[in-house]
Amino acid sequence: MPVRVFDDVEMRLLKEVLDSGNLSSMGGQMTARFEAAFAEAVGTKHGVAMNSAMSVLHACLMAVGVEAADEVICDPVCVFGAVAVMYANAVPVFVDVNPVTWNMDPGLIEAKITERTKALIVTHVCGLPAEMDRITDICKRHKVAVIEDCAHSLFATYKRRPAGSWGDIGSFSFQMSKQLALGDGGMAVTNDEELAHRLGLHAGAPTFHSTAYGLHYNYRMNEQTAAIGLGQLEKARGYIQELREIGAAYDHAVAPFAWLRAQNGPPEAAHTYHLWGCRFEGDTHGISLDDFKRVLEEEKCAVSIGYTGMPAYKHPLIAERLGYGKGCPLDCPLYLGRNNRYPEGLCPRAEDLFKHLMLVYTFGLKEEQLANAERLHGVAERLS
């Protein structure tokens, strides 16, 4: 561990689906069972399963009423929230990160709120929960909906409250690299019955005959995926415990070296380590990044440098202002005259972070991960 185990548990649940003769959530029972079990596991009243986390994020925005030319606040490390905003024909507005946690800095949010701000998407980067009490307090004062992107943070907690249960809606990913891996899929969770209903409109049969809440999408999850989800949910807390032990081993490996600063949060934030992250600061200690990369390769230490290499607003989709055509969404005629440009230095902390970002994907045999952490310690010792 943490190696994903698919065994008789999933086979039994899949056989239930096949024996039913119905592989669709329309009229099926397995998806509803998975929704209820997942919502209970993360401390919310409602779960709405969909075919991907991007579908969930898009549906979340529609459920809270985001429309063309509205603004949605996003963080700049992960691009997916901003892409979902563009799906909704709205405009992403970026708030810089805390340089230690790498999560959205609550102290910078209010300056970005305007009369057009409809929602905020906050990502719990790598599995470390953001400061959700501060974020939700600010958004409540300004009547801004809060969507938590929990793609990295299954069973993470902040002040003992699960990630995904703080905001109006939480979004979880079941893509194959994630902590609950189903090939693909996603789940929206909420405590609000009306929001659950609106989300469900995008996870069932498209209601072309209805004008309720406008256009609906067909994002439903099938019964087979839900069956595997139920099986994996039984095992997921065990995976998370192993990931935490692996994350602690990497933290311990770099602790003696001032030029390697592991991602860190307040004591109230319980990390679940979808990724283990560290910041390389050797350039201020006489150690070049090129030398570090060379020794990593020599020691066969599996550490990636730079993640995507750019903050969200520098990705071509946003930087080149692509989208639906005719200027939408970033240059939508309904948005004329707004300051919707993304200049160099927009989020200086995030831009600097990408120059120094080190990541380890934590799934894999625990023994191999612990050995890799020892190799990382050896790399640092060679260069110190």
Percent of the chain's residues with pLDDT above 90: 92
Given a cut of 70, whether residue 339 has pLDDT beyond it is no
What's the chain's length in residues? 384
| Amino acid (1-letter code) at residue 79 | V
- Read off the pLDDT of residues 255-273 as tens digits, 9 standing for 90 and up: 999 999 999 999 999 999 9
Domain spans in the chain, listed from the N-terminal domain onward: 8-232
DSSP states of 235-248: HHHHHHHHHHHHHH
Given a cut of 90, whether residue 79 has pLDDT beyond it is yes
The closest alpha carbon to 281, from 303, 259, 263, belongs to 259
CB 119 within 8 A of CB 146: yes
Burial of 209 (0-12, 13-18, 19+ CB in 10 A): exposed
Burial of 27 (0-12, 13-18, 19+ CB in 10 A): exposed
CA distance 41 to 164: 11
CA distance 231 to 357: 35
The closest alpha carbon to 380, from 313, 296, 307, 311, belongs to 296
| Radius of gyration from C-alpha coordinates of the chain | 21
- Read off the pLDDT of residues 132-146 as tens digits, 9 standing for 90 and up: 999 999 999 999 999
The closest alpha carbon to 358, from 262, 266, 251, 257, belongs to 262
Q: How confident is the model at residue 212 (pLDDT cuts 50, 70, 90)?
A: low
pTM of the model: 0.96
Decide the pairing of beta strands 117-123 and 145-149: parallel
Would the CA dihedral through 271, 277, 281, 287 be positive or negative? positive
The owner of tokens 């989300």 is 199
CB 338 within 8 A of CB 112: no
pLDDT at residue 325 in the model: 87
CB 165 within 8 A of CB 43: yes
Distances (CA, A) of 116 to 94, 338, 367: 14, 10, 51
Distances (CA, A) of 176 to 31, 186, 221, 380: 18, 11, 15, 32
Q: How confident is the model at residue 204 (pLDDT cuts 50, 70, 90)?
A: confident
CATH of 8-232, one of 3.40.50.1110, 3.40.50.720, 3.30.429.10, 3.40.640.10: 3.40.640.10
pLDDT at residue 132 in the model: 98
Given a cut of 90, whether residue 208 has pLDDT beyond it is no
Decide the pairing of beta strands 260-262 and 275-280: antiparallel
Percent of the chain's residues with pLDDT above 70: 96
CA distance 219 to 292: 44
CB 268 within 8 A of CB 103: no
CA distance 201 to 236: 28
- Read off the pLDDT of residues 273-317 as tens digits, 9 standing for 90 and up: 999 999 999 999 999 999 999 999 999 999 999 999 999 999 999
Mean pLDDT, the chain, as a whole number? Answer: 95
Q: Please enumerate in sequence order all residues whose Cβ is within 8 A of that of 69, keeping only pairs 6 or more positions apart, or say none.
A: 89, 90, 91, 116, 329, 332, 334, 335
CA distance 269 to 253: 21
Q: How many CB atoms lie within 10 A of CB 114?
A: 12
pLDDT at residue 207 in the model: 59
The closest alpha carbon to 196, from 170, 225, 233, belongs to 170
Q: Please enumerate in sequence order all residues whose Cβ is within 8 A of that of 89, keeping only pairs 6 or more positions apart, or say none.
A: 67, 68, 69, 323, 324, 328, 329, 332
The closest alpha carbon to 296, from 307, 286, 284, 304, belongs to 304
